C-alpha cells in the first residue's frame, strides 16, 4: 500500500482543522453559498464545495458530472483564506509584487522558474494569453503587452502583467497582488494560489 505523501498528510490535517472553525463567520464574511452539507466558493473561475463535516474540498465540473477532489494548491488556498483571514480584511486597490507586500523584506520569491516557463509559453502569442485571461473573468488593464485583473475569488482579484519577448529581452510575466493581500492569506499561500492561476492560464494555451 502506497504511503501518503507529506502533501496528503498536510491536507488531511487542514481538513480536520477546518471543521473546528466558525463556518458561520466564513459565510458572513465572504457571502458564501451554503447547504447543510457544504459551503460553496468560486476560485479562479471554477466552483468548489467544502464538506462542512469533513473538510473535503471538491471541484464542481462546469459541464456537470461528479465532483473532483481538489488539488493541494487549491485546497490549501481555500483553507487559509476561509480559516485564517483577518476579521476586517479589505482590499486597498493598490497592486504590487508579492515580495513588496508590507511586512515582507529580503525574501526571495520561490517559483520564479514557473513564471518564466509560463512567459515562454505565451511568448509571441500575446493574443492567446489575452483570451486566457478573459476566459478566467479577467478585465483588461493598461500595462505591458497584456494585463488583466483576474478574480482569484469573487472578493479578491489579482493582476496579471505580461511583456512579450523582443530581440533583447525574454518575455516576462508577473502576478501583482493587492497591498492588503496578507490580511486575506499567509505569505506562503500566495504561491499556492499563483501556482494554480498559472496552471489555469496554461489550460488555454
The confidence score (pLDDT) of residue 76 equals 96
Minimum mean pLDDT among 74-78, 100-104, 110-114, 153-157: which range? 110-114
Q: Show me where the domains of the chain are located.
A: 6-84, 95-202
- pLDDT confidence tier of residue 8, bands split at 50, 70 and 90: confident
The confidence score (pLDDT) of residue 53 equals 97
Which of 5 and 157 is assigned the larger pLDDT?
157
Reported as a single tens digit per residue, the pLDDT across 150-200 is 999 999 999 999 999 998 999 999 999 999 999 999 999 999 999 999 999
Nearest to 171 by CA among 139, 138, 136, 129: 129
The confidence score (pLDDT) of residue 62 equals 87
Q: Of all residues in the chain, what percent carry a pLDDT higher than 90?
A: 85
The confidence score (pLDDT) of residue 6 equals 86
- Mean pLDDT (the chain) is 93
Residues 32-52, mean pLDDT to the nearest whole number: 97
Which of 2 and 148 is assigned the larger pLDDT?
148
CB 99 within 8 A of CB 109: yes
The confidence score (pLDDT) of residue 107 equals 64
- pLDDT confidence tier of residue 63, bands split at 50, 70 and 90: confident
pTM over 0.85: yes
Reported as a single tens digit per residue, the pLDDT across 110-146 is 556 789 999 999 999 999 999 999 999 999 999 999 9
Minimum mean pLDDT among 47-61, 80-94, 100-114, 155-169: which range? 100-114
Amino acid at each position: 500500500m502506497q504511503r501518503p505523501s507529506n502533501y496528503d498528510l498536510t491536507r488531511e490535517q487542514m481538513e480536520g482543522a477546518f471543521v473546528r472553525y466558525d463556518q458561520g463567520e466564513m459565510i458572513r464574511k465572504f457571502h458564501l453559498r451554503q447547504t447543510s452539507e457544504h459551503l460553496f466558493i468560486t476560485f479562479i473561475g471554477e466552483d468548489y464545495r467544502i464538506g462542512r463535516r469533513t473538510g473535503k474540498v471538491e471541484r464542481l465540473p462546469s459541464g456537470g458530472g461528479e465532483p473532483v477532489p481538489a488539488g493541494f494548491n487549491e485546497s490549501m488556498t481555500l483553507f487559509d483564506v476561509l480559516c485564517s483571514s483577518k476579521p476586517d480584511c479589505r482590499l486597498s486597490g493598490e497592486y504590487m509584487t508579492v515580495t513588496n507586500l508590507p511586512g515582507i523584506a529580503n525574501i526571495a520569491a520561490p517559483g520564479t522558474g514557473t513564471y518564466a516557463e509560463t512567459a515562454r509559453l505565451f511568448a509571441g502569442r500575446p493574443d492567446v494569453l489575452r483570451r486566457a485571461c478573459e476566459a478566467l473573468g479577467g478585465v483588461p488593464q493598461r500595462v505591458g503587452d497584456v494585463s488583466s485583473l483576474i478574480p482569484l475569488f469573487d472578493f479578491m482579484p489579482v493582476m496579471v502583467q505580461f511583456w512579450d519577448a523582443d530581440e533583447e529581452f525574454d518575455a516576462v510575466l508577473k502576478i501583482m497582488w493587492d497591498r492588503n493581500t496578507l490580511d486575506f492569506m499567509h505569505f506562503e499561500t500566495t504561491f499556492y494560489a499563483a501556482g494554480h492561476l498559472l496552471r489555469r492560464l496554461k489550460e488555454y494555451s
